[in-house]
Structure 1
Amino acid sequence: MIYIVGSINLDYVARLEALPLPGETVLGSSLVKSPGGKGANQAVAAQRAGAPVRMIACSGRDLDGELATKFLAQDGVDLSGVERTEMPTGIAIIEIDAKGENSIAVLPGANEAVSSEMVKKYLQGLNNSDLVVLQQEIPQEATLTALCMAKQAGAMSILNVAPVLADSGDAVAQADLIIVNETEFEKIAGLEASSNAADQWCQQTGKALALTLGADGAILAGVGESSHIRPPAIDPVDTVGAGDTFCGYLAAGLHNELSYKDAVETAVVASAKACLASGAQEAMPWAKDIEF
């Protein structure tokens, strides 16, 4: 089982010709509401990749909450660990320009209600055949509790360090596999993203690392000889959800006993495929559909 302890949001996605500069007003062409949140996105991706997934999260007792759990329920994600609260469901305000690039602002809402006590309740029975996947859009205390429980149970833990927080180092120190993009890597490592820097950081920390590079694919380091996996050439529609697709597919690959390299290769292709349609969860491919 893959346990994903994380966020559930509803995404408000605005289409613009160009992303606004500070102080600038830009007219948009459309606004669409769609399910999101890094935790929920990764749960959908891992489920579509062929792994059993249980989500541990909070959403509001509102229409946004119903919409935000739509694909989780449809795809068969186990929602027995999702609690409804009186707080409003978390939202993300996403702006996408004509080139498919995006900027995102997140308002946590009900995600702030995920607690250590809740994590302890729903991670009971965790064992060494399970994986625990985390991000950083819920209270850090809950994330650290989940990492501690994974270590005690001998379960593999995967931490997507997004967003980077002031105390992210505490979580990184406890996780087995770290997933970061270039900006996040530079913040946690103090090094410019490259294969050599990834190797250096892994040697210093003893961690396994998947460093995503957008259109340049991903670097795998810390598990034998490092590899730079290149993606297929695509003409992206938008990149929202591509990173979460990568995380979910990588977790599913490892759960299904692929090697690290094979799991990363599959995740790179899946994340590229996710860029060929609009939205986050809506665009995530099923395992049978990721061949180019």
Structure 2
Amino acid sequence: MHVYVVGNMGVDQTYLIDELPEKGASIHGHKISQDLGGKGANQAVILARCGVKTTLIAARGNDHQGDWCRDKLTHEPLTLFPADPLDCATDTSIILNSADGDNVNITTTTAADTLSLRHITAVLADARPGDVVLQQGNFSFDKTRAIFEYARGRRLYTVFNPSPVQSEFAGLWPLIDLVVLNSVEARLLGADLQTADAARHLLAGGIGALVVTLGADGALLFQGARQLRAEAAPCRVVDTTGAGDTFLAVMLASALLRGLPVDETALRHAGAAAAITIGRSGTLNAFPTRAELSAILA
């Protein structure tokens, strides 16, 4: 089983602030870390650390930040395409962490936008039926749809984490086997309904299965008439950045490594891994190690 993560990578710069600012406010902050980030890179790194064969299809720019990202990824057990930088700036995220552990992210998409469909399908051409294509919400609607259509044509299993949310994504559901959302995203894409009703609305659109993460309240799995809940693992909240990416990647890895669809065990494994990330500061530096993930998945 091979997972192709088609998404973005970049540099995460994290600042600690007293509280999230209101519109028009000027505030002081303290830069506490610089780390590799981007939802595509985050999820690929964790999948690879879980022991899943992983290819990250994501662009970096031809600048010193792009070189820095490449060097960070050389220490991870994954394959990166394209191997060479593109003629653009590397994407960057500014992360504002408030004292209570909440955060706001501001992300550029220049490199992600420069990555062409030709770059992506050249790699996916090597995929075999049953392999997995995982996307996030960093591409345009048209590119996202074209990638999933290509994956469907090659009989690949499609997973979608549509964050950041675009309203047009609701037209993609018949192309998706598994969608992973948080409760806010579920409401935005689910006709502004509460979680259970939003899930039924989304499933009616053609999704194979849906997982909704609920933060401290755990996670819900919806598939057909089946609904499962997993409680959140206890943890001390330091920094929630990357927790959703950790959850998704470990959930998917748990199911793939056991040859099963996503189940309650996969949700439980994912929650335990996300609790580790939440208890640490940063992005890549906060993720569970290979040893920690092996212990969780054992």
Structure 1: 5+ residue stretches without partners: none
Match of 2:262 among 260, 263, 285: 260
CA distance, structure 1, for counterparts of residue 195 and residue 110 of structure 2: 36
Task: Name the amino acid aligned to 1:260.
Answer: V
Shift of 1:287: 5.2
Structure 1 residues 202-213: aligned runs within 5 Å: 202-203=203-204, 205-213=206-214
CA distance, structure 1, for counterparts of residue 205 and residue 165 of structure 2: 19
CA distance, structure 2, for counterparts of residue 62 and residue 204 of structure 1: 42
Deviates most, 151-160 or 200-209: 200-209
8 Å Cα contact 1:158-1:251 kept in structure 2: no
The question of 1:59 aligning with 2:57 is answered: no
Q: Count residues with an aligned counterpart.
A: 292
RMSD, matched Cα: 1.9
Summarize the Cα distance change of 1:169–1:37 in structure 2 as closer, same or farther, 3 Å threshold.
Answer: same
8 Å Cα contact 1:114-1:138 kept in structure 2: no
Aligned to 1:87: 88
Show CA shifts across 1:189-242 (max 9, x none): 114343454245324534300101111111100155211111111111100000
Aligned to 1:189: 190
8 Å Cα contact 2:173-2:207 kept in structure 1: no
Aligned to 2:281: 278
The question of 1:34 aligning with 2:35 is answered: yes
> What SS does the corresponding residue of 1:141 show, helix, strand or coil?
helix
CA distance, structure 1, for counterparts of residue 292 and residue 224 of structure 2: 28
Aligned to 1:216: 217
CA distance, structure 2, for counterparts of residue 7 and residue 65 of structure 1: 12
> What SS does the corresponding residue of 1:75 show, helix, strand or coil?
coil
> What SS does the corresponding residue of 1:85 show, helix, strand or coil?
coil
Task: Name the amino acid aligned to 1:116.
Answer: L
Task: Name the amino acid aligned to 1:228.
Answer: R
CA distance, structure 1, for counterparts of residue 199 and residue 276 of structure 2: 25
Shift of 1:148: 1.3
Aligned to 2:119: 118
Deviates most, 9-18 or 139-148: 139-148
CA distance, structure 1, for counterparts of residue 158 and residue 103 of structure 2: 29
Show CA shifts across 1:160-179 (max 9, x none): 01011132123333111011
Shift of 1:80: 3.6
CA distance, structure 2, for counterparts of residue 206 and residue 270 of structure 1: 26
Deviates most, 103-112 or 140-149: 140-149
Task: Name the amino acid aligned to 2:49.
Answer: R
8 Å Cα contact 1:181-1:212 kept in structure 2: yes
Structure 1 residues 65-80: aligned runs within 5 Å: 65-80=66-81
Q: How much identity, in percent, do the aligned residues show?
A: 27
CA distance, structure 1, for counterparts of residue 170 and residue 72 of structure 2: 32
CA distance, structure 2, for counterparts of residue 84 and residue 114 of structure 1: 10
> What SS does the corresponding residue of 2:23 show, helix, strand or coil?
coil
Structure 2: 5+ residue stretches without partners: none
Show CA shifts across 1:227-268 (max 9, x none): 111111111110000011112112222322244112222112
Please give the TM-score of this superposition, normalised by the length of structure 1. 0.93
Aligned to 1:136: 137
Please give the TM-score of this superposition, normalised by the length of structure 2. 0.91
Task: Name the amino acid aligned to 1:46.
Answer: L
